[in-house]
Structure 1
């Protein structure tokens, strides 16, 4: 009752005020997360206890510039591979809905979405802009929305696949808790992956189970599975396409997780081992993506990475390598700003193919003033 009352009161607040309050709250939480992180006391090699900020300031001059730039370049390169896989996955999912754009158009759209998402929580900017773009130039909002819904689920599948593959090789960071964590997480990850593919390829089986097998919260689960089943309906006869999209999801998240190993090497973290850092990063990525509380996951990324890797590579190194991972990932993303301004109100992709029929995109999209584009 109290929750419903609060939700009702929130909905009565003017949209502009709601947005300002939400953004302000995220800014405060982001600043607060960094404050807690950087004022945390850490023990130095000589036994002193200093703030993390002081330890970082003392550590930075020790970094070798040549090593730094070499491994930052490698980190950025592997992240680019992941971004390209993400673009290809979106192209596949749109094709499954009967929509095809030139890859060059998708490339620019993705970078614009990532650029806008730099200033927003989780993947809101990228998801929103891709959906707007596909719906606008194809005229098929429902199909673009369904592709987005399936892509979101595939993103979780990709994270769980990366987690499962890295776990046997990197679980050492969990110490004595490894067995407990494995028992609590591995079955869940496997179940989510299996349910998704059964739902996509054998929806009647899932519906029969939730109808005939009683369990807590069945009504809520039934509603969720019904929506997911409807979104995946277009892909039931396209098993290879959906499997390909799932493989791309794995590479998206594996490349991102592996990137943090190279940022750790860039700052000279001697204790960094590939699978340990990659495994820790799969957990950190999940926490960052799922967190709605800070802008672009700032603060959450560094805190989780430090909790998992401080004993292996050091607190200072964990914080710096996590923050550096964000900037290495932004190397290509910042190019989205160029595409954003380059695509004026009269921009159209070269073509759009709808159900095999190639058409001029200009015939399907009304002209939009730049002011409207800036608000997306």
Structure 2
């Protein structure tokens, strides 16, 4: 018997609330369980010397948003959806604003797909969905590459750190298999045939249409372009955490951030909690403890990085409330 949609939505929210609060409780317990813990420790983390690193973190994230939007634009244009960069940047910031308030940091992606639909008409729905989905996947794929690179260079010979290379390896291989299925005609057809046996016809038709759109990304030049843009974008976003660490007085090499933050980013991207809270902080706390960072500092770094994102996304809130005149681009796949 099918569940009532409202009841189902309530149950899903309650489950996400549990997944948020339970890890948050352990985060809190680890902090207050430290010897000589005092609430004044939180205020002593901040000083005027942390203002400059915080401003630099803001600048790093702002620049990364510009390069990320350019990558999104390239993926849309490959499918024939041509919008001005300035206009897309506004839509991108609106998506960022929604990402900060929707479960699993994916609400903004849904909003971006909807906005592309409103800008380009019904034919642009598939392009917006495909470009946004691929953009998100490729970003997570690239930070995984960073973690693997750092692991091979600095941590593979460290017995205490070597274990964290394996999750990155399996995630990397999983992404490679996924991209092969999305962009390979033969593998895509095989996956489509398998899905036809287990999925309803309507859902299968939509997924099959989406698979066909991924074929537009079979371009060496496009992969070079988005690889360069992702390298810049994801590096800058990891630097945001690094400078947030400096704000609270954490003296840690940037290599640790390139090794740990990718795993934190992947967990926070999963739609299993409210806004990524809870699992993100617990994982960061557990990982950075291996580098000698206290529980309080490791959690505050994540919260500061989120606050930086929230501040910049307020521009998206302004655009959303003000409204924006839609464009009417020509939608024709290349």
TM range (shorter): 0.7 to 0.9
Aligned partners of 2:167, 2:139: CA distance in 1, in Å?
A: 21
Structure 1 stretches of 5 or more lacking a match? 1-7, 212-217, 357-376
**1:102–1:352 contact (8 Å) kept in structure 2:** no
1:248-302: CA deviation from partner (whole Å, max 9, x where unpaired)? 23433332222111111101113x2111123111111111112x22211112221
1:22-79: CA deviation from partner (whole Å, max 9, x where unpaired)? 33443344233322211226665xxx364xxx4xx23233235222211111112111
Aligned partners of 1:349, 1:165: CA distance in 2, in Å?
A: 42
Query: What is the match of residue 175 of structure 2?
Result: 192
Distance verdict in 2 for CA 1:197–1:222, change over 3 Å: farther
Distance verdict in 2 for CA 1:247–1:322, change over 3 Å: same
Aligned partners of 1:310, 1:184: CA distance in 2, in Å?
A: 18
Aligned partners of 1:227, 1:352: CA distance in 2, in Å?
A: 21
Q: What's the CA shift for 1:93?
A: 0.8
The TM-score, its normalising length taken from structure 1, stands at 0.74
Aligned partners of 1:101, 1:17: CA distance in 2, in Å?
A: 40
**2:120–2:327 contact (8 Å) kept in structure 1:** no
- Does 2:100 correspond to 1:118? yes
Aligned partners of 2:318, 2:232: CA distance in 1, in Å?
A: 26
**2:30–2:295 contact (8 Å) kept in structure 1:** no
The structure, 1 or 2, with the larger RCO (C-alpha pairs under 8 Å, 6+ apart) is: 2
Aligned partners of 2:21, 2:300: CA distance in 1, in Å?
A: 17
Within 5 A, what are the aligned runs for 1:1-376? 8-9=1-2, 12-13=3-4, 15-40=5-30, 44=34, 48=35, 50=37, 54=38, 57-139=39-121, 140=123, 141-169=125-153, 171=155, 175-183=158-166, 185-186=168-169, 189-190=172-173, 192-193=175-176, 196=179, 200=183, 203-204=185-186, 206=187, 219=194, 229-236=211-218, 238-270=219-251, 272-290=252-270, 292-311=271-290, 312-343=292-323, 347-350=324-327, 352-355=329-332
Q: What's the CA shift for 1:175?
A: 4.7
Structure 2 stretches of 5 or more lacking a match? 199-203
**2:46–2:248 contact (8 Å) kept in structure 1:** yes
**1:157–1:246 contact (8 Å) kept in structure 2:** no
1:229-259: CA deviation from partner (whole Å, max 9, x where unpaired)? 42311222x3312331233234333322221
Aligned length: 322
Query: What is the match of residue 364 of structure 1?
Result: none
SS in structure 1 opposite 2:116? helix
1:95-130: CA deviation from partner (whole Å, max 9, x where unpaired)? 011011111211111111121221212232211111
SS in structure 1 opposite 2:237? helix
The TM-score, its normalising length taken from structure 2, stands at 0.83
**1:102–1:349 contact (8 Å) kept in structure 2:** no
**1:78–1:255 contact (8 Å) kept in structure 2:** yes
